[in-house]
Structure 1
Amino acid sequence: MTGALDTPQTTTANTSRRGHDSYDGIEPRLVELAALDPADRRWARLREEIITRCLPLAEHIARRYSGRGEQYDDLLQVARCGLLEAVGRFDPARGTTFVSFAVPTIMGEVRRHFRDRTWAVRVPRRLKELRVHLHAAGPVLMQQLGRMPTVTELADHLGLDRDEVVQAMIASNGYDTDALDPGTDSDDERFSSPMRRLAAVEPCYGLIEDAMTVRPLLAGLSDRDRDILTWRYFEGETQSQIAARLGVSQMQISRHLTRILTTVRILATADAPLLETA
């Protein structure tokens, strides 16, 4: 642990690592780790090797959140702590990839850091506390279910009312705000204004985060609403064809689509990480 966390770093990310993800195919090594006794010297060496190989993942996520009022070095340390947690909690027997488990775990740690340090609006303490529990429960349920948990599943897991969970997710939107102009004197584009943005664009991770947000939202829809979205946007049917399927008017289908998309959009933009809503 010490060796991995104390790896020398500058205040800027090592961008030369991008495109050569050393954590690809790490699962066999994690299987070996799970089979060893923690008292065995090989366990400690193998664990440090795994953590070192996966450091670029923590660096990427730290870069993603830099420029929001926190120093990159601080975010990097937080992201590394999330990586340690992911390595310690990952269960190879679940059959999921390490990256799909580690990304939300590390992001949860970084976002929890922002929650503790930079809440931009006044939020009741109860909702702040619930957000911590939600972040902890998300990766656990994701491994158990093999998918993102719905709001109802999160509420059942935590023994909470569903409305409380939704309120905590929506309230989490207040943990941080971005200034249009951070007023930095740096010429480094990674620390520039939102117009130039904060880091290199890496679509693969953006798609992962988008999928984490949208998937539980769709799962939380009624069967009828989900069918309407599927027919319209995945099977390419017209509103008239869908109306004929359901025996209603085209105008009714148009209203249904507007309602469904508006609801999903509101919940999706609530910025509740990884478990963000269903």
Structure 2
Amino acid sequence: MPATTTTHKETAAEAAEIAALPDIANPAAVTPKDARELTRLFLNQLAVLEEGTHEYHYARNTLIEMNVSLVRFAASRFRNRGSGEMDDVVQVGTIGLIKAIDRFDLTREVEFTSFAIPYIVGEIKRFFRDTSWAVHVPRRLQEARVELAKATEELRSRLGRTPSVQELSQLMNLTEEQVDEARLASNGYVSSSLDAAISADSEGEAALADFIGADDHALELVEDFQALAPMIASLDERERRIIHMRFVDECTQAQIGEHLGISQMHVSRLLGRTLTKLRAGMLTTQ
């Protein structure tokens, strides 16, 4: 007997028939008004269906697709946040929708819409909190930045000018130091690329990196120190001691000789021999 191929639509129709649910060919096209009524029906069935069955998956997936409009509605509130594509925000909000579907309690006298929106908004806010900041700062400062923006806008509208730190601290019930800290943390919300083109003179554009920073030539010594460390470790105890006293403690050869009980001339010969050994070792590593 040849194998029977079952299409997705046929599977959905069969599941709907078994679960006494309407077969919705395109759940995403259901109007919000119809979605509210159908959502209650599907939630009722989802509560009694066995998890893992075709019927259960049909009911759950249809609920998700029917209520994506809730996610888009919630996501529209974050359209001007300036971080991330709206498709990413909708995708994150859909996670909140799924959590709401899985956790909704039919015995509670609350509309599913009212129950789901906080879950959706919560996931979107978490997304912005975790991904939008160019530099990670503590959560309390992230929240303080939001409150600072609100307080600044309120006082600017009321006073007709930019508010002072003292005025902001009084409105926000924070110390002036805390307001300054929130202002400083706000600088970590958005960053600019070092390759970003900025206006320059008539010769053309220049990159931001052309105007900040400088070459640190001391960094070239890092490789030398890394190569030198095992060579110093291979010296005998007296040689290491002389090197340490001369270049770390900055003792004179006379002081080293007095400390070791040998002549300054002997110290000079030992130091020269040790430096020659280290210099030769460095040349072979390059």
Q: Flag the structure with larger Rg.
A: 2
Instruction: Compute the TM-score of the two structures, normalised by the length of structure 1.
Output: 0.38
Of structures 1 and 2, the one with the larger relative CO (CA 8 A, separation 6+) is 1
Instruction: Compute the TM-score of the two structures, normalised by the length of structure 2.
Output: 0.37
